[in-house]
Amino acid sequence: MITLVQKLTAELELIINEFPELFLVDLTVTGVSGNQRVLVLIDGEAGLPIESCSLISRKLSNRIEEEDLIEGAFNLEVSSPGIDRPLSLPRQYKKNIGRKLKVETLEGEIFEGKLKEIEEQTIVLSVNERDETMLLDKIKKAKVLISFN
């Protein structure tokens, strides 16, 4: 049986295909029938303009109502993941090349360094003048570190 998240994701993918620079990071549904919250996190190669959020929100809301995907009232929120949210997709790493990351591996090791490159399955992090190559599937969590200098 197809879940509500799968149905919404399929509809959203059709909408996002109109914007090749954008990509879906996450879609969650919380709450109970008649009072559900749909949170859509989208990102883009060069950020996410507020106009794109509004347009995608309107299009998805129309599709939800046309297809009667959610019964009763729902709250739809479309936004970017925010800087405090861990990176989860290769495209997110790509847009953060040159920034400082804090990476925690599945083994519990923690690295802080500048993201130099990303390949299909790996990232290269410059840590104390030394390059560390890490497999994406061995990364537990990676966050962008904000610097104010």
The domain that contains 50 carries what CATH number? 3.30.300.70
What distance in Å separates the CA atoms of residue 80 and residue 54, rounded to the nearest whole number? 12
149: Cβ contacts below 8 Å, ≥ 6 apart: none
Instruction: Tell whether 149 is covered by a domain.
Output: no
Upper half-sphere CA count for residue 88 (Cβ side, 13 Å): 14
Instruction: Tell whether 40 is covered by a domain.
Output: yes
| Overall number of domains in the chain | 2
Residue 100: domain span: 90-144
Instruction: Tell whether 74 is covered by a domain.
Output: yes
Last residue in a domain, options 53, 79, 105: 79
pTM here is: 0.78
Return the closest-CA partner of residue 57 out of 11, 103, 93, 25.
Answer: 11
Instruction: Tell whether 13 is covered by a domain.
Output: yes
CATH code of the domain covering residue 124: 2.30.30.100
Query: What is the reported pLDDT for 88?
Result: 87
Q: Do 36 and 103 have their domain in common?
A: no
pLDDT in tens, the chain (149 residues): 889 999 999 999 999 999 989 999 999 999 888 789 999 999 988 888 889 999 999 999 999 999 999 988 899 999 988 878 899 889 999 989 999 999 999 999 999 999 999 998 999 999 999 999 999 999 999 999 987 76
Helix 50-66 / helix 4-16 crossing angle, nearest 10 deg: 130
Query: What is the reported pLDDT for 149?
Result: 60
Q: Do 107 and 75 have their domain in common?
A: no
Q: Do 97 and 132 have their domain in common?
A: yes
Last residue in a domain, options 50, 79, 108: 79
Q: Do 8 and 69 have their domain in common?
A: yes
Query: What is the reported pLDDT for 34?
Result: 79
Q: Do 99 and 67 have their domain in common?
A: no
Query: What is the reported pLDDT for 7?
Result: 94
Q: Do 28 and 62 have their domain in common?
A: yes
Query: What is the reported pLDDT for 82?
Result: 80
Q: Do 110 and 70 have their domain in common?
A: no
